[in-house]
Structure 1
Amino acid sequence: MTLRSRLALLALTLLTTFSARADEGMWLPLLLKQLNEADMQKKGLKLTAEQIYSINQGSLKDAIVQFGGGCTGEIISDQGLLLTNHHCGYGQIQSHSSVENDYLTKGYWAMTPGQELPNPGLTATFIVRMEDVTGQVLAGIPATGIAEAQREQLVLQNSQRVAQAAVQGTGYQAFVRPMFNGNEYYLFVTEVFQDIRLVGAPPSSIGKFGGDTDNWAWPRHTGDFSLFRIYAGPDNKPAPYSPANKPFKPRHHLPISLAGVQPGDFTMVFGFPGRTNEYLTSWGVDEVYSLSNPAKIAIRDAKLKQLDTDMKASDKIRIQYAAKYASLANYWKKWIGENRGLRKLDAVRVKQEREAEFQRWAESGDAARRAAFAGLLPELKQQYATVRDYTLARDYVSEAALGVELVAYANSLMAVYELTTGGIKAPAAELAAAVEKAKNGSVRFFKNYSAPTDQKVAAQLLPLYANGTPAALLPAYVKQLQKQYATTGWNAYVAQLYAKSRLTTEAGAYAVLDEVAAGKPDALRQDPAMQLAAAIVSTYRTAILPTYNVATDQIALLQRTYVAGLRLQQPERKFYPDANSTLRLAYGQVAGYEPADGVQYDFYTTLDGIMEKADPTNPDFEVPARLAELHKNKDYGPYAYKGSVPVCFIATNHTTGGNSGSPVINGRGELIGTNFDRNWEGTMSDIMFDPDRVRNITLDVRYMLFVVDKFAGAGHLVKEMTLVGAPDSGTEATPDKKLKKVKVKRKKA
């Protein structure tokens, strides 16, 4: 039997297999009926799979959006009100902020529709439907005997053809994504809205409470939410921003439960998780653990320390670098926790044991099995050994060299630079177009750029780049700089670089680009920042990328075969595809955990904990006076629980980056919170899941309502929402019972 025939039979056996380990998995909503419905209902789900994902009627999926390109959001009113994380909306909040109107620090609340702020470029994407199109994508592509790059090109062509056919004559968009490392392919038809307006955001002292100190940690007390609104054209369809647009009317919006959560309660996280590598081999795990993560952690550590110093010294720089700092810090701390988790799980050894079992299975089979799988793991080991130095060099380019903003900006001008080199004069129109595009990018770049700060960063990162890159893969230009400045050091070079380059200011960069357009290419070619960037990028393209691509292409092919083999080896197991920014559902239960011997964490935190952490001398733990007043007076409204306001809770759902902003939903389909983080002990779950340690951290929806209503005085927003299940209301939402809105009495702020 051929490998493809075996996989075809496997699709049938999956319908009757056992579940994955407890609460592990990011499941495709399309397959919930076959794979998960019974297990979910056994654990507390009161809905059917059809009520979660349907293309014929409104369902939970119709309240879920991909927010921008990297987060999730949920619709919480019939007027397109969208809830996501504060850190997901951070860039938009920053874009509207200035020293005079510092919405990052003070927060922002639109008290009228006219005060809702547009955000050019921000989108909200709904999934209309999804479909298994494996047969169409792989049609005509040989299963073996074809180079991986050629296969990928054919897959891309077929995928584009399938996607175009799916939306022809509609206003929808579509794309195809691989699953199980390219063993299966799924079509996603989407509706993308372009007019998304900022409605409300708490001050950073609420939305980022705990800051980097508490990031990736539990217990947590962060009010990590922001509110936006989707606007549509007169036909309720996507439309570019216009003052005439109206609030979007969704097919479904999530009712909000005031009943709270208890240990053991069923929970689901519905969203767009970014990337996981659950089926990575021991060599892949070792590469992450011992090579890539340590290098990236050290580089970001140096950069973050310098940015932190300058941001504390200047409000202007703080606002300019707020979003960039948060983005850098997020994965810096995640990688630290990930390595700790992998070490604690002894992940490399565990993977090796599983591979030994796979190898025995492969070698004990018939001739076809042995031919397909027996030589697989030794070849993977060899490819990882081949690519190791190139992976490290690639990391140093992306994190250290291009972590210097001046170098990154010069790299963004590479298209203009290349049109002025090579001995062939570019057509004037082509050069003019490239210059104009570069100018447009320059406006965005310089808005949030400080050359003095970047110079200090460069003095930290360029030596790390030069010393950390394997010598054979370091540009000759950089080696010459090492010799030239061996006595005076990198600081001397960096000082000259920033003194002589005209690309450190917007005016200087524009002048350079104008001179290039006027026929003076040396203005760019001889700029020292451009020379440094060109040398780094040229070496990357010619000496690093070719070998890296060949090896990683081969690893991709072998990994695809390995995953196919795992599914054949374990026919009793339900497999879920790695996350790839497509809509997924994870489910679990509310639960505390034991992070270490003798330590027990409860499942929730409260406003009392915020006051216990309050420290006016530490920016991470500042508490707004209004919040302290509400706590002092115990003015909690209907959002109280056991004499305080619940802030966050944890559960066993399997999440990752991209799940930020995802709704956490109870068994009745009601919103109980918004996912915003994982615990530090569980960050290795992108590679290896441990049900005893992995917890997703959720903002309790009652704290969001409390902040909006009692703190901000924006009760008009709460009135839009459908509140159900209050402890004293006697109502609940069930599939066959119409939701009753809870009347909430409020005092005027």
Structure 2
Amino acid sequence: MTRRLTAALGVLLMAATPTFADEGMWLFNNPPAAQLKAKYQFEPTPDWLDHLRLSSVRFNSGGSGSFVSADGLVMTNHHVGADDLAKLSDEKNNYLRDGFHAKTRDAEIKCKGLELNVLLAIKDVTNDVNAAVNPGMAPADAFKARQARIAEIEKANADEKASVRADVVSLYAGGQYHLYTFRKYTDIRLVFAPEKGIAFFGGDPDNFEYPRYDLDVCFFRVYNGGAPLKTQHYLKWSAAGAKENELVFVSGHPGRTNRQNTVAELQYLRDTGYPYLLQRLVRLEVLLSAWGGRTAENMRRAEDDLFSIQNSRKARLGGLAGLLDPKLFGRKVADEQRLREFIGKSMNTDVKAAEGAFAAVEKAEKVRAELIRDLTLLENAAGFNSASFGIARTLARAADELPKAPAERLREFGDARIPSLKFQLFSDEPIHEDIETVKLTDGLTFLATSLGPDHELVKKVLAGKSPRDRAYEVVSKTKVRDPEFRKKMFEGGKAAVDAAADPMIELARLVDPASRAARRRFETEVEEPKRQAHSALAKARYAMDGDQVYPDATFTLRLAFGTVKGYTEAGKAVPPFSTMDGLYARSKELGNTGPFELPKRWVDRKDKLDLKTPFNFVCTADIIGGNSGSPVVNKAGEVVGLIFDGNIQSLVLDFIYDESEARAVSVDSRAIVEALRKVYDADALVAELTGKK
């Protein structure tokens, strides 16, 4: 992997300028108009941008999607919908494995705990937020004051009755704050999903590789007032699909990038953060693979978590490989040196204020390295790995936090966030005792081996029992998996929680002081100093490069662009498109077994398909995790594809953009229609997508 990354990045390492080629995850209120006009002679109008923004949706489960019909039909990836497919499945119906097709509206199944968001407006509130922090404030006081003002802004702009959600988003690592208001929808119903065997054809071996042959698509429908949502903002379907060298756009919600990180922050990820996380991911992968392998029902219950862990493991390995590449890291060092020299030579007082910023970040990263164990085990709850513990801690903390003034609460309990929190908390999604016990046993074992069996907290948590026995005890006796019990506890407050004496809630309370202490130290000694430092650095970057520098990804809506284009790997040309005949050839090559085994329907219907139909394609658009499910549209705003992955060379995009080999991978719109018609007999769905009977 490192060899390929070196080859891919070699041509980029000679220069250090703000943006490269088709680089950028751009804000919709600051689109890359100049770049598009200069390179592609295309100028997106405000109406074009508004329509694309209002047609795009965010999944609270993590991922992107888009409206693709006037009747609230939403398209995303199978792997974005996998969590919901798993929740709707049972011992008789495995929708994640076998797929689902509602042939009529009455057959569409309501999802459990799924919320979709549509971005209505963006407002810059940087001055408002920063005004809450007085010069010379101690970091703890500055953090508290800033969070209090953010909570006030969110509360003033949210409207539960109108289903409007308000989030203040930190950009440029605290350099700017924007208020995002969303329309939220909670009545979401499953319409169609293919079998996992074709949605994730090739499995882990082909994940992040190319060519690919995946029908990674899933359809949901938004309902409003018990009827399908009527919307004028939806993306029309392109019958022609994508074309080589065509300009395309991606509208989605990239999760997180680290491109504006200082060298000290990247060193932390390289030397501490990623290696520590990878150990945890490998541990969980082995655990769930072994437990899931025992029975088909076990695998059904573990499958979605296992996919997510395997995907994260491979992605983090790719990111670490990039950080270990001396040429790539040298590029980041050069970028930082360029900024340091600009700050040093500047006579601008705002720029000069950034002189101490690099040292402040370096100091904060040292504290972060000290905290990684306790923060991971306690506040991130790796030592108590289970959905039951997460619910219990929410109930315990709600009892403590909600009586406080809004400005005094933990951010997740702000007034504007309570409606979404309650929607998730009261969901009746299934939580299975057996896998909860397995996961909690492993979490408690991780806690004990990390802190040591004689650690005072470990002894209190285990209460004289082995991790296995203690996990069984609290999981079997807790009531937190009952939605009605959760409602009673949440609404009853501290008195109800005290009276319940629930063992899982009591466990959460037991570790909460230590967990809060780790969080508080992280917020005041890491987050707040870095926020102030990056705010100063953002001003310096702006003075140096203007608004040509886009902010790092924050799981908020962004616009990316690029061209449909193949690449060269190890001297071999990789074409931009794969085709359906390649799917069958790949399956045959690997003996039609394991992750390369085709669903029976695809074997039986092979002769009905046009095997020259483009299946997947690649483009140079700048994407990252969270973009999964994003629509790919042409200049006319028509759907030509659906983002579902990046190739392995794209895994460095967390830190740096590369156009030479890194590619976004999409399902072609033509493959979706071909499969729906000829494999799944979903003519009504095709008619809705295309507007043609």
Q: Same fold (TM over 0.5)?
A: yes
Among residues 401, 417, 434, which one is paired with 2:383 in the alignment? 401
The CA distance in 2 between the partners of 1:202 and 1:114, in whole Å, is 19
1:685 matches 2:658: no
Among residues 591, 600, 621, which one is paired with 2:596 in the alignment? 621
Contact 1:338 1:682 in 2 (8 A): no
* Residue correspondence of structure 1 range 654-733 to structure 2 within 5 A: 654-722=622-690
Cα deviation 1:440-465 (Å, max 9, x = unaligned): 969958x33343x5555566555544
1:132 matches 2:107: no
Report the counterpart of residue 44 of structure 2 in structure 1: 48
1:259 matches 2:240: yes
Report the counterpart of residue 410 of structure 2 in structure 1: none
Contact 1:292 1:395 in 2 (8 A): no
Report the counterpart of residue 612 of structure 1 in structure 2: 585
Report the counterpart of residue 546 of structure 1 in structure 2: 521
Report the Cα offset of residue 158 of structure 1. 4.4
Amino acid in structure 2 at the alignment position of 1:86: H
The CA distance in 2 between the partners of 1:137 and 1:509, in whole Å, is 39
Report the counterpart of residue 4 of structure 2 in structure 1: none
Report the counterpart of residue 59 of structure 2 in structure 1: 67
Amino acid in structure 2 at the alignment position of 1:295: Y
SS in 2 for 1:78: coil
1:630 matches 2:605: yes
Contact 1:47 1:668 in 2 (8 A): no
The CA distance in 2 between the partners of 1:648 and 1:399, in whole Å, is 38
Taking only aligned residues, the RMSD between alpha carbons, in angstroms, comes to: 3.8
1:503 matches 2:470: no
Amino acid in structure 2 at the alignment position of 1:68: N
Among residues 460, 464, 467, which one is paired with 1:494 in the alignment? 467
Contact 1:299 1:464 in 2 (8 A): no
Cα deviation 1:657-687 (Å, max 9, x = unaligned): 2211110111221111111122222122122
Report the Cα offset of residue 714 of structure 1. 0.8
How has the CA–CA distance of structure 1 residues 358 and 62 changed in structure 2, closer, same or farther, with 3 Å as cutoff?
Answer: closer
* Residue correspondence of structure 1 range 308-319 to structure 2 within 5 A: 308-319=289-300
The CA distance in 1 between the partners of 2:636 and 2:677, in whole Å, is 25
How has the CA–CA distance of structure 1 residues 149 and 644 changed in structure 2, closer, same or farther, with 3 Å as cutoff?
Answer: farther
Amino acid in structure 2 at the alignment position of 1:448: I
* Residue correspondence of structure 1 range 407-426 to structure 2 within 5 A: 411=393, 414=396
- The more displaced of 688-697 and 152-161 is 152-161
Contact 2:166 2:179 in 1 (8 A): yes
The CA distance in 1 between the partners of 2:496 and 2:251, in whole Å, is 55
Cα deviation 1:567-610 (Å, max 9, x = unaligned): 22334x61111222222100111122344x33443222222232
Report the counterpart of residue 288 of structure 1 in structure 2: 269
The CA distance in 1 between the partners of 2:579 and 2:316, in whole Å, is 28
SS in 2 for 1:721: helix
* Residue correspondence of structure 1 range 571-650 to structure 2 within 5 A: 571=546, 574-595=548-569, 597-614=570-587, 618-631=593-606, 633=607, 635-636=608-609, 640=610, 643-650=611-618
SS in 2 for 1:555: helix
Contact 2:68 2:689 in 1 (8 A): yes
Cα deviation 1:56-113 (Å, max 9, x = unaligned): xxx2222211233522211112222111111111122222212212222221111111
Contact 1:131 1:188 in 2 (8 A): yes
The CA distance in 2 between the partners of 1:188 and 1:679, in whole Å, is 31
Report the Cα offset of residue 26 of structure 1. 1.0
How has the CA–CA distance of structure 1 residues 124 and 530 changed in structure 2, closer, same or farther, with 3 Å as cutoff?
Answer: closer
The CA distance in 1 between the partners of 2:681 and 2:83, in whole Å, is 24
Report the Cα offset of residue 373 of structure 1. 2.5
The CA distance in 2 between the partners of 1:384 and 1:218, in whole Å, is 36
Bigger CA radius of gyration = 1
The CA distance in 2 between the partners of 1:256 and 1:551, in whole Å, is 47
How has the CA–CA distance of structure 1 residues 502 and 616 changed in structure 2, closer, same or farther, with 3 Å as cutoff?
Answer: farther
The CA distance in 1 between the partners of 2:175 and 2:558, in whole Å, is 18
The CA distance in 2 between the partners of 1:164 and 1:519, in whole Å, is 27
Report the Cα offset of residue 655 of structure 1. 1.3
Cα deviation 1:99-140 (Å, max 9, x = unaligned): 2122222211111111111124323322223233434444x4
* Residue correspondence of structure 1 range 420-439 to structure 2 within 5 A: none
Report the Cα offset of residue 229 of structure 1. 1.2
Report the counterpart of residue 92 of structure 1 in structure 2: 84
Among residues 137, 159, 168, which one is paired with 1:146 in the alignment? 137
Among residues 232, 248, 260, which one is paired with 1:279 in the alignment? 260
Contact 1:164 1:174 in 2 (8 A): yes
SS in 2 for 1:88: helix
1:449 matches 2:440: no
- The more displaced of 161-170 and 220-229 is 161-170
Report the counterpart of residue 477 of structure 1 in structure 2: 457
How has the CA–CA distance of structure 1 residues 713 and 254 changed in structure 2, closer, same or farther, with 3 Å as cutoff?
Answer: same
SS in 1 for 2:325: helix
Report the Cα offset of residue 365 of structure 1. 3.1
TM-score (norm 1): 0.77
How has the CA–CA distance of structure 1 residues 508 and 702 changed in structure 2, closer, same or farther, with 3 Å as cutoff?
Answer: closer
How has the CA–CA distance of structure 1 residues 443 and 260 changed in structure 2, closer, same or farther, with 3 Å as cutoff?
Answer: closer
Aligned residues: 648
Cα deviation 1:170-213 (Å, max 9, x = unaligned): 66443332322233232333222232211111111122222222
Contact 1:387 1:548 in 2 (8 A): no
How has the CA–CA distance of structure 1 residues 91 and 69 changed in structure 2, closer, same or farther, with 3 Å as cutoff?
Answer: closer
The CA distance in 2 between the partners of 1:548 and 1:520, in whole Å, is 28
The CA distance in 2 between the partners of 1:559 and 1:327, in whole Å, is 31
How has the CA–CA distance of structure 1 residues 594 and 475 changed in structure 2, closer, same or farther, with 3 Å as cutoff?
Answer: farther
Amino acid in structure 1 at the alignment position of 2:470: L
The CA distance in 1 between the partners of 2:177 and 2:141, in whole Å, is 17
Amino acid in structure 2 at the alignment position of 1:587: F
Among residues 193, 208, 212, which one is paired with 2:204 in the alignment? 212
The CA distance in 2 between the partners of 1:481 and 1:96, in whole Å, is 34
How has the CA–CA distance of structure 1 residues 609 and 385 changed in structure 2, closer, same or farther, with 3 Å as cutoff?
Answer: same
How has the CA–CA distance of structure 1 residues 158 and 118 changed in structure 2, closer, same or farther, with 3 Å as cutoff?
Answer: same
Contact 1:299 1:399 in 2 (8 A): no
Amino acid in structure 1 at the alignment position of 2:118: F
Cα deviation 1:520-560 (Å, max 9, x = unaligned): 979958x6x77876665443333674256423321221122
Among residues 320, 331, 349, which one is paired with 1:350 in the alignment? 331
Report the counterpart of residue 390 of structure 1 in structure 2: 371
1:555 matches 2:546: no
How has the CA–CA distance of structure 1 residues 368 and 212 changed in structure 2, closer, same or farther, with 3 Å as cutoff?
Answer: same
Amino acid in structure 2 at the alignment position of 1:28: L
* Residue correspondence of structure 1 range 517-536 to structure 2 within 5 A: 524=501, 536=511
Contact 1:45 1:668 in 2 (8 A): no
Amino acid in structure 1 at the alignment position of 2:21: A
Contact 1:607 1:644 in 2 (8 A): yes
SS in 2 for 1:146: coil
How has the CA–CA distance of structure 1 residues 302 and 71 changed in structure 2, closer, same or farther, with 3 Å as cutoff?
Answer: same
The CA distance in 2 between the partners of 1:106 and 1:671, in whole Å, is 27
Contact 1:267 1:587 in 2 (8 A): yes
Contact 1:62 1:251 in 2 (8 A): no
Amino acid in structure 1 at the alignment position of 2:643: N
Amino acid in structure 2 at the alignment position of 1:476: E
The CA distance in 1 between the partners of 2:177 and 2:668, in whole Å, is 36
How has the CA–CA distance of structure 1 residues 475 and 411 changed in structure 2, closer, same or farther, with 3 Å as cutoff?
Answer: farther
How has the CA–CA distance of structure 1 residues 672 and 679 changed in structure 2, closer, same or farther, with 3 Å as cutoff?
Answer: same
How has the CA–CA distance of structure 1 residues 714 and 612 changed in structure 2, closer, same or farther, with 3 Å as cutoff?
Answer: same
Report the counterpart of residue 365 of structure 1 in structure 2: 346
TM-score (norm 2): 0.83
Cα deviation 1:414-468 (Å, max 9, x = unaligned): 459999xxxxxxxxxxxxxxxxx99x969958x33343x5555566555544444
SS in 2 for 1:87: helix
Report the Cα offset of residue 504 of structure 1. 2.9
